[in-house]
Amino acid sequence: MTTGTYTPRPGAASLPRMIAAQAALETKMLLRNGEQLLLTIVIPTLLLVLFGSVDIVDTGEGKAVDFLAPGILALAVMSTAFTGQAIATGFERRYGVLKRLAVSPLPRWGLMTAKTLSVLVTEVLQVVLLTVIAFAMGWSPQGNPVAVLLLLILGTAAFSGLGLLMAGTLKAEATLAAANLVFLLLLVGGGVVVPLDKFPDAAQSVLGLLPIAALSDGLRDVLQHGAGMPWGDLGILAVWAVLGLGAAARFFRWE
């Protein structure tokens, strides 16, 4: 290099360019990570195929796939927005990535926007893959696509808030363990593959308030039963989103 190479010429790139670059990198990191792929792609796909083709759980009347597909879509949202995001962000915090980015020209809200974009890109990939598989298994969805979109977005917001709250307050190892445990518990008790009415009445009313239950129930109402706007479930998700994102904004520690 010749003289003058390092002559100062500071300046931030434009915000859209920074956010796009950050979102692209975050998505690339996620798709490169084996454990993340297992969580976001392999497990939902396997569950859909397995429970859809083998009669393990009594899914009520109608085709099994019509019951399963909405639940698996809800699971996909949870795996990316909650479990995947919590684990990735927890380790970014632990390894000083968040600390280093905090002194880069990218503002914090820009980083959070990029993370959200990366989650949404991943979810689009998941939804496309799972929808194709479900159609191949004879899925016949109904209902209003706008209601579906609204449920997916509010669900993403609710799970993101909870995932970031965990990542920003616990140690990375604790986040890893807790996020996987919660994923497993909600998979079983959140109406994803096991209908909630298999649980006792008292448990049902509590479980029904979980974000995963609201999301899978709302998606099922629309996609399986052709309901209109599932306001109750949207309301539950909205409350979780406000609480989760609010708490994350309040308690998140960057180091």
Partner 1 sequence: MRSDPVVQVRALVKRYGEKTAVDGLDLTARAGVTAVLGPNGAGKTTTIETCEGYRKPDEGTVRVLGLDPIREATALRPRIGVMLQSGGVYSGARADEMLRHVAKLHAHPLDVDALIERLGLGSCGRTTYRRLSGGQQQRLALAMAVVGRPELVFLDEPTAGLDPQARRATWDLVRDLRADGVSVILTTHYMDEAEQLADDVAIIDAGRVIARGTPEELCRGGAENTLGFTGRPALDVASLLKALPADSTAVELTPGVYRVTGKVDPQLLATVTSWCAQHGVMPDRISVERHTLEDVFLELTGKELRS
Point out which residues bind partner 1 (CB under 8 A).
Answer: 1, 3-13, 17-18, 21-22, 25, 28-29, 32-33, 91-92, 95-97, 99-100, 102-107, 255
Q: Which is nearer to partner 1, 97 or 239 (CB)?
A: 97
- Collect contacts of 180-187 with beta carbons under 8 A, ≥24 apart: 180/83, 180/87, 182/82, 182/83, 183/39, 183/78, 183/79, 183/82, 183/83, 186/78, 186/210, 186/212, 187/75, 187/212
* Placement of tokens 């099994």 in the chain: 64
Q: How far is the CB of 89 from partner 1 (least distance, A)?
A: 11
Q: Which residues contact 53 (CB under 8 A, 6 or more apart)?
A: 137
CA distance 126 to 130: 6
Q: How far is the CB of 34 from partner 1 (least distance, A)?
A: 10
Q: Which amino acid, 81? A: A
Tokens of 183: 């994923």
Q: How far is the CB of 173 from partner 1 (least distance, A)?
A: 14
Q: Which is nearer to partner 1, 5 or 55 (CB)?
A: 5
Q: Which is nearer to partner 1, 1 or 54 (CB)?
A: 1
Give the residue among 94, 96, 113, 115 at the shortest CA–CA distance from 25.
Answer: 115
Q: How far is the CB of 240 from partner 1 (least distance, A)?
A: 29
Q: How far is the CB of 101 from partner 1 (least distance, A)?
A: 8
Q: Which is nearer to partner 1, 201 or 255 (CB)?
A: 255
Q: Which is nearer to partner 1, 25 or 242 (CB)?
A: 25
